[in-house]
Chain A
Amino acid sequence: MNRFVTANPSKCIGCRTCEVACALAHSDGAGVEGLGPESFKPRIRMVKTADVSTAVMCHHCEDAPCVNSCPNNAIVYRQHSVQVEQERCLGCKNCVLACPFGVMDVVTVPAVRQFAVMTLSLGVKAQAHKCDLCIGRDAGPACVSVCPTNALTLMDRDAMDETLRRRRERAALEAAEVAA
């Protein structure tokens, strides 16, 4: 099963701490002072409507529409998650339209090439941009660790099994009550 981060709307208070943590976790070490209106591109977004506040991000679908829609096989399943191979991304935006949750985006980043002594600017490069589960971050998903109300959880097979077990137990209890 692919892992994914899930948000609990009855706990979310709409504070956007997760957004900042996500942007920071992908800032290549620039730290908070590197953040600004242009560079702020979190892969998780807090959504507030009249009745709901919650965070939305990639579900790391098992049969992912974004993966299926990519003409250049840039989106792959890796380490129990859906990941983008940025070198292969064309910026065609098929995946953006394919994702039913609106959590895939295409952004442009400055493209550079490093030589031994110099950095060469190559204009801009498109990137399919979405939650990568903070892959490679030792402490795991940054958003989950900062949420002040613990509204976010990392769901892996074990967490999912535990949730399902609890739901079945509740269903059984409810069934027993109905029978009694």
Chain B
Amino acid sequence: MEKHMAVCPYCGTGCKLNLLVEGGKVVGAEPLNGVTNEGELCLKGYFGYDFINDTKILTPRLRNPMLRRSRDAAFEAVSWDEAIQYAAKKLSEIKAKYGPDSIMTTGSSRGTGNETNYVMQKFTRAVLGTNNVDNCARVCHGPSVAGLQVTLGNGAMSNSIPEIEHTKCVLVFGYNVADSHPVIAKRIIKAKERGAKIIVCDPRKIETARLADLWLPLNNGSNMALVNAFANVLINEGLYDKEYVANHTEGFDEYRKIVDKYTPEYAEAITGLPAEDIREAMRIYAAAPSATILWGMGVTQWGQGVDVVKGLSGLALLTGNLGRPNVGVGPVRGQNNVQGSCDMGVLPTEFPGYQKVTDPEIREKFAKAWGVPSLPDQIGYRLTDVPHLAETGKLKAMYVMGEDPAQTEPDLTQVRKGFEAMEFVIVQDIFMTKTAMFADLILPATSWGEHEGVFSAADRSFQRFTKAVDAKGDVKHDWEIISLLATAMGYPMHYDNTREIWDELRELCPIFYGVTYEKMEGLGAVPWPCRDLDSAGSKYLYEGNVFQRPGGKGLLFATEWRPPRDQLTEEFPLILCTVREVGHYSCRSMTGNCAALQTLADEPGYVTINPKDAKALGIRDQELVWVSSRRGKVISRASVTDRTNKGAVYMTYQWWIGACNELTIHAVDPIAKTPEYKYAAVRVEAIADQVWAENYVQQEYAKLKGGLSNAVTGATNKAPAYA
């Protein structure tokens, strides 16, 4: 049996593991003693590898480039040569006719790695000539980056994952750590065993709430009010660190004025929490010699996500919980490499290494390195703008790599219309996905396990992963495909391996310069900033309390609470909040093809509902129900549980039949443009004929699966030469 070192492709924890290979096939995974996982893996890490082997449980792996010459034609398998020429011609035509800004690309925060993301943004900027490149951080931690960049100067977790275990207080806000990052959950459990106090703010009784010293089940949509009330208590009870605030922060007076109104009693009406609990939480937080705030999608996927992020960083600033070990602010990244795609500049605002596209000197540096006369100076489009831009004719072509927006974006009807309105869509992926069904050209790439590269863990650590097996079929590495396309468009681009790409980007990004492949050998993890070849990187940021802002001080920022956008009415009386579950990842194209994970949870997925609400609606546990909103209607299975708060229902977002994003609203944060996935007004209805409903689910599921699979097999059969 061979063993190949890898980094788990399922979340930002960055667990190191060995893939066990027998006869060219991955047959198992075993944990390694990586810096962040220390010999542990979770469900997905242990049992989430068999998708590589093309199990076809959900969707087939892509094996050949596939082209469809008109939207009503079927896909046909074509040679790489034809595929690349076709794409180059189409993109060049569209660029000539409508200008470079009519084209948009995406990076991928998933298994492809940092090098590919670097190459994609280089292609977009240097070859297409636009900053229209974005990644799915937009729909998750975009607000964390936007908010923290303003208040502290850096959008990432301030401290490392292993430090969580040594903090004396963990404030968990809108973050279901057990389902999102089980291996980080262990750190919290260990912290508690070492005497740390745990405070959990979440409307649901999540696993961490069970072990919390204090659980604050706030009303859905009241985050900002609670955070402001926290600040109010810290200031009015004199719990804040006056010296720290005086020396290392600015904006205190303005801040104080806004939070002044948010007394715990005032917040009680909005949050539904007893004023005394709000006080108690801050007394615990302020008394701890070291305290860490961790948050997730419960903070960011709101119309007011950026503000709440700024507010949370304010709590850390007020109490001096930054700039040293075992403290800090932690937006814990969901997808395994969403930190990486931001690091690599697949953002409409920044080059790799967080260097602004609006800075002429920076542009000059990149233009010179890439051998082009100039680079675009206008900030590009965001992913969430796409449907609207396509429908209004501003966006004509899209090159989607390793993402499935037709599953993961809000208000899917809108998204589909957007894709249909575009003239040319390329999808580059490892699986046939719902998005790929809208493509004109499908480019098949190698999967995690079939290539090597570097990922960024949630705590900024760069780690290498290696190749375990050879890819089957006529597929290429993502970065190779992009290079071929660039070359065909008249910009010669060629790399022999990922290391060559890595070394090119290191030279261009001062904060990554010291992170060499050698340092990341084996179990090596190097957290950026790492500016020198002899530095081991920075486990925590803001050493000496110097913030990465002009003047070096942290900004205290507060703003008024705004109620959520969607309106509850008699017709739509319940709040729908979209969440995730431990066994499935993202759009499920990977985990849905893993036998064990699919066995634990399959279509149509669950809508969890409080027993009181269920009773009033005549719904019993495990029954199929209709869930509808102003935007759509889907079928789902009821899970009646006390852990769900009254008045709200929760659905996970990876299902096709129970696709909650048919229901969600396209109301985005004004700054980060992250959608309000956490609040849509819905109605849940019982279905009298359960037998009919069960059959309906099976039929629809089979139809969808069949459609995707036929698209691939049909194309492959037609042109056996490439099969």
Q: Using CB atoms and an 8 Å cutoff, list the residues of chain A in contact with chain B.
A: 10-11, 13-17, 19-21, 23-24, 31-37, 40, 48-53, 146, 148-150
Q: Name the B residues within 8 Å of A37 (CB-CB).
A: 599, 602
Which stretch of B39-47, B550-558, B714-722 is in the interface?
Answer: B39-47
In the complex, which of the residues B55, B185, B582, B583 contacts A149, with contact meaning CB atoms closer than 8 Å? B185
CB closest chain-A residue, reference B183: A148
When each residue 593-610 of chain B gets 1 if its CB lies under 8 Å from chain A and 0 otherwise, what string results? 011100110100000000
Question: Is B567 an interface position by the 8 A CB rule?
Answer: no
Q: Which of A16, A21, A37, A149 has the most CB of B within 10 A?
A: A149
A59 to B185, CA, bound (A): 27
A33, B599: Cβ atoms under 8 Å? Answer: no
CB distance from B37 to the nearest CB of A (A): 9
A48 to B595, CA, bound (A): 23
A21 to B28, CA, bound (A): 12
A148, B185: Cβ atoms under 8 Å? Answer: yes
Per the 8 Å Cβ criterion, residues 154-208 of B in contact with A are 178-179, 182-183, 185-186, 189, 205, 207
Q: Name the A residues within 8 Å of B643 (CB-CB).
A: 48, 50
A155 to B53, CA, bound (A): 38
CB closest chain-B residue, reference A16: B600
In the complex, which of the residues A14, A21, A34, A150 contacts B595, with contact meaning CB atoms closer than 8 Å? A34
CB closest chain-B residue, reference A19: B600
A14, B41: Cβ atoms under 8 Å? Answer: no
CB closest chain-A residue, reference B46: A146
A149, B182: Cβ atoms under 8 Å? Answer: yes
CB distance from A147 to the nearest CB of B (A): 9
A118 to B78, CA, bound (A): 46
Question: Is B641 an interface position by the 8 A CB rule?
Answer: yes
Q: Name the B residues within 8 Å of A20 (CB-CB).
A: 43, 46-47, 596, 599-600
A19 to B643, CA, bound (A): 22
Q: Name the A residues within 8 Å of B47 (CB-CB).
A: 17, 20, 24, 32
Q: Name the B residues within 8 Å of A48 (CB-CB).
A: 641, 643
B594, A15: Cβ atoms under 8 Å? Answer: no
A14, B178: Cβ atoms under 8 Å? Answer: yes
A33, B55: Cβ atoms under 8 Å? Answer: yes
Question: Is B532 an interface position by the 8 A CB rule?
Answer: no
Question: Is B642 an interface position by the 8 A CB rule?
Answer: yes
B599, A35: Cβ atoms under 8 Å? Answer: yes
Query: With A16-B600, A53-B207, A149-B182 known to touch, is A32 a contact of B50 (CB < 8 Å)?
Result: yes
A31 to B582, CA, bound (A): 21
A20 to B205, CA, bound (A): 25
CB distance from A104 to the nearest CB of B (A): 22
In the complex, which of the residues B27, B582, B641 contacts A16, with contact meaning CB atoms closer than 8 Å? B582
Q: Name the B residues within 8 Å of A32 (CB-CB).
A: 28, 47, 49-50, 594-596
A14 to B176, CA, bound (A): 12
CB distance from A7 to the nearest CB of B (A): 13
* Known contacts A13-B182, A14-B178, A50-B641; 12 further A-B pairs (Cβ under 8 A): A13-B207, A16-B600, A17-B46, A20-B599, A32-B594, A33-B55, A35-B595, A35-B596, A36-B595, A37-B602, A53-B210, A150-B186
Q: Name the B residues within 8 Å of A52 (CB-CB).
A: 210
When each residue 636-677 of chain B gets 1 if its CB lies under 8 Å from chain A and 0 otherwise, what string results? 000001110000000000000000000000000000000000
CB closest chain-B residue, reference A52: B210
A16, B583: Cβ atoms under 8 Å? Answer: yes
Q: Name the B residues within 8 Å of A33 (CB-CB).
A: 50, 53, 55, 595
CB distance from A136 to the nearest CB of B (A): 18
A148, B42: Cβ atoms under 8 Å? Answer: yes
Question: Is B211 an interface position by the 8 A CB rule?
Answer: yes
A17, B178: Cβ atoms under 8 Å? Answer: no
CB closest chain-B residue, reference A10: B211
A14, B42: Cβ atoms under 8 Å? Answer: no
Q: Which of A13, A19, A24, A149 has the most CB of B within 10 A?
A: A13
A17 to B24, CA, bound (A): 26
CB distance from B615 to the nearest CB of A (A): 15
When each residue 46-78 of chain B gets 1 if its CB lies under 8 Å from chain A and 0 otherwise, what string results? 110110010100000000000000000000000
When each residue 6-45 of chain B gets 1 if its CB lies under 8 Å from chain A and 0 otherwise, what string results? 0000000000000000000001100000000000111100
In the complex, which of the residues A19, A21, A50 contacts B205, with contact meaning CB atoms closer than 8 Å? A50
A15, B189: Cβ atoms under 8 Å? Answer: no
B211, A16: Cβ atoms under 8 Å? Answer: no
Query: With A37-B599, A50-B205, A53-B210 known to touch, is A148 a contact of B583 (CB < 8 Å)?
Result: no
CB closest chain-A residue, reference B184: A148
CB distance from A11 to the nearest CB of B (A): 5
Q: Name the A residues within 8 Å of B55 (CB-CB).
A: 33
CB closest chain-A residue, reference B178: A13
Q: Name the A residues within 8 Å of B27 (CB-CB).
A: 31
In the complex, which of the residues B40, B179, B599, B641 contacts A148, with contact meaning CB atoms closer than 8 Å? B40
A15 to B643, CA, bound (A): 16
CB distance from A142 to the nearest CB of B (A): 10
Q: Name the A residues within 8 Å of B41 (CB-CB).
A: 146, 148
Q: Name the A residues within 8 Å of B182 (CB-CB).
A: 13, 15, 17, 148-149
CB distance from B219 to the nearest CB of A (A): 19
Q: Name the A residues within 8 Å of B189 (CB-CB).
A: 10-11, 149
Q: Name the A residues within 8 Å of B40 (CB-CB).
A: 148
When each residue 603-629 of chain B gets 1 if its CB lies under 8 Å from chain A and 0 otherwise, what string results? 000000000000000000000000000
Q: Name the B residues within 8 Å of A14 (CB-CB).
A: 178, 207, 582
Q: Name the B residues within 8 Å of A148 (CB-CB).
A: 40-43, 182-183, 185-186
> Can you list 12 residue pairs at the A/B interface with Cβ under 8 Å?
A14-B582, A17-B42, A20-B599, A23-B596, A32-B50, A35-B599, A36-B599, A50-B641, A50-B643, A51-B210, A53-B207, A148-B186
In the complex, which of the residues B205, B582, B641 contacts A15, with contact meaning CB atoms closer than 8 Å? B582
A14 to B42, CA, bound (A): 11
Q: Which of B53, B205, B207 has the most CB of A within 10 A?
A: B207
A21 to B210, CA, bound (A): 25
Q: Name the B residues within 8 Å of A10 (CB-CB).
A: 189, 210-211
Q: Name the B residues within 8 Å of A36 (CB-CB).
A: 595, 599
The 5 closest A-B CB pairs, nearest first, are A50-B642, A13-B178, A17-B43, A35-B595, A149-B186
B178, A15: Cβ atoms under 8 Å? Answer: yes
CB distance from A105 to the nearest CB of B (A): 17
A15, B43: Cβ atoms under 8 Å? Answer: yes
Q: Name the B residues within 8 Å of A35 (CB-CB).
A: 595-596, 599
Q: Name the A residues within 8 Å of B642 (CB-CB).
A: 49-50
Q: Name the A residues within 8 Å of B602 (CB-CB).
A: 37
Q: Name the A residues within 8 Å of B207 (CB-CB).
A: 13-14, 53
Q: Name the A residues within 8 Å of B183 (CB-CB).
A: 148
CB distance from A90 to the nearest CB of B (A): 29
